[in-house]
Amino acid sequence: MEKNINELKEIIASSKRITVLTGAGISAESGVPTFRGSGGIWRNYQVTDVATPQAFARDPELVWEFYNWRRDLINKVTFNPGHKALVKLEKHVNDFTLITQNVDGLHREAGSRSLLEIHGNLWEVKCTKCSLLTMDRSQNMGKLPKCSQCGGLLRPHVVWFGESLDPDIIHKAIEASQNCELMLIVGTSGVVHPAASLAHQAKAGGAVVAEINIEQTPQSGQMDFVLTGPAGKILPMLVENFN
């Protein structure tokens, strides 16, 4: 591991364009449960019951119960050294893009700016009638929150399974993956598409790809570096030479 970290630190120091892809694992040390690991969210909730448009049409109260539970939980936590290390990296790299699958807003809260939230943001709500998009940090939006403008039912502005990602955002994410020198893939199980294909796109574009995870993933075999350990410990080590 030691060799890997030092080698990777040199590549980071000499890379002009770095892209990072994060998943739920980078927020785990903040106390946000992941989806698929031990204690994962999907253990208590059926994805199909709470994270699809069909689920919302069938039982919007259940879906809002799920998202209010996550709002309440995430309201109580804050970013961790892993998020902060990526803010430091962004300051030292010529051309930096952070792509996140997370909807918790912790990268933005930590100070990341060149950020693509490809699955949306838990704190944004969209009216299902007039499409008004608003940022609402309330801990609990209530059973069936309504639009202040037209009275329509609000939904979390996140991408559910079976929904397409914002074409402009995913285009930018693919471009940043295909044209970087180095891609760090942090805290993701690599099973959700199209995010899971970005590491492959980076490799195809000639980038060095490095996985940071507490365990092996189905993508570990295609990585140039596999750093096994918590993101909150490894990421600060990778950027410790930057002031």
Contact residues: ligand BV8, CB under 6 A: 23-25, 28-29, 34-37, 40, 51, 101-103, 119, 158-164, 187-189, 191-194, 213-215, 217, 230-231
Binder among 1, 13, 144, 150 for Zn ion (CB under 5 A): 150
- φ/ψ of 157, rounded to 5, equals -85, 65
Of the two residues 139 and 149, which places its CB atom closer to ligand BV8 in the complex?
Answer: 139
Q: Closest separation between CB of residue 133 and Zn ion, Å? A: 10
DSSP state of 136: -
Catalytic status, residue 107: no
The residues, ordered by sequence, that sit 6+ positions from 40 with a Cβ below 8 Å of its Cβ are 33, 34
For 118, half-sphere exposure in the C-beta direction (CA atoms, 13 angstrom radius) is: 27
33 binds, among Zn ion, ligand BV8, none (CB under 5 to 8 A by kind): none
Catalytic residue among 107, 119, 171, 193: 119
Q: Which helix (H) or strand (E) holds 239?
A: none
Angle subtended by helix axes 231-238 and 2-14, to nearest 10: 50
* Strand intervals (E) in the chain: 17-22, 95-100, 115-117, 120-127, 133-135, 154-158, 182-186, 208-213, 225-228
127 binds, among ligand BV8, Zn ion, none (CB under 5 to 8 A by kind): Zn ion
Of the two residues 132 and 214, which places its CB atom closer to Zn ion in the complex?
Answer: 132
Q: Closest separation between CB of residue 38 and ligand BV8, Å? A: 9
Q: Closest separation between CB of residue 9 and ligand BV8, Å? A: 18
Residues annotated as part of the active site: 119
